[in-house]
Amino acid sequence: MLNNPVIASILGTIGTILWCIQLIPQIIVNYLRHTTAGLQPLMLLLWSIGAVIMGIYNVSRNLNIPLQLQPQIFLLLCFITWGQCLYYEKKFHLYKCFSIFLLAGCISGLVETGSVFMLRSLVRRNIEWPIVSTGIISSIFICVGLFPPYYDIYIYKCVRGISFIFLLVDMGGAVFSFLSLLFEPKFDILAAISYCSVFFLELGIIMFDYYFKLLDWVKKRKLDRKAKHEISKIMDTIDINVQAS
């Protein structure tokens, strides 16, 4: 791997900035529509758990600072968006949503801080399997978090409630974060798998949307042709009747 901390930090910073703003378009769309219909609360909950575990892993591994900050900001945005789901769809009172937000934030902070100290002490004693397991679990939660939208796509045959700007920005953040790993002293395969999985799963959501739009377009074209053919047959019948009379 290329060992260049400066480039790693620059790429990681770009990835972090993109991941800092990725859910903002979704949050704005939810606010303007006053609904989160189609947006899966389970996805956001799984991402929140995954972000906590990713934060534990990235900080424990001493990855570049932007990559250590990235899960924390991502977690904050996930909590805000999840809170919107509770407020708009579940009709929770604003005070209740805010209380859940604070409680979840405090628990996440305590869990992450305690876990980082524990894992670092284990690494100093050359016990690596707990931190490796943490990286694997983090990747699983982040990836599984994208499964609920696929189920929703399967049921409704379209992408509902997800901002494509959010997906594109998130994919960009995953790409730059992955590239930053290439310039680390040691390439982190687990972090790389996590970023690549996010990129391809979100790309799949976009491709499915265009696939179903294409199917609708083809279906509409067939119906238009059939309608034109029926009209043509009717007109021919009218002409024949007129000529016969």
The answer to whether residue 146 scores a pLDDT higher than 90 is: no
CA-nearest of 80, 75, 73, 120 to 97 is 80
pLDDT digits (tens, 9 = 90+) for 27-69: 998 999 999 887 888 888 898 998 999 899 989 988 888 888 8
pLDDT digits (tens, 9 = 90+) for 84-135: 999 998 899 999 999 999 999 999 999 999 999 999 999 889 998 998 899 8
Burial class (CB in 10 A: 0-12, 13-18, 19+), 27: middle
Q: Please report which confidence band the pLDDT of residue 161 belongs to, taking 50, 70 and 90 as the band edges.
A: confident
Q: Other CB atoms closer than 10 Å to residue 126's CB: what's the count?
A: 6
SS3 per-residue string spanning 186-222: CCCHHHHHHHHHHHHHHHHHHHHHHHHHHHHHHHHHH
Q: What is the pLDDT of residue 237?
A: 65
Q: What is the pLDDT of residue 43?
A: 87
End-to-end Cα, the chain, rounded Å:
88
The answer to whether residue 5 scores a pLDDT higher than 60 is: yes
Question: What average pLDDT does the chain have?
Answer: 86
Q: What is the pLDDT of residue 224?
A: 73
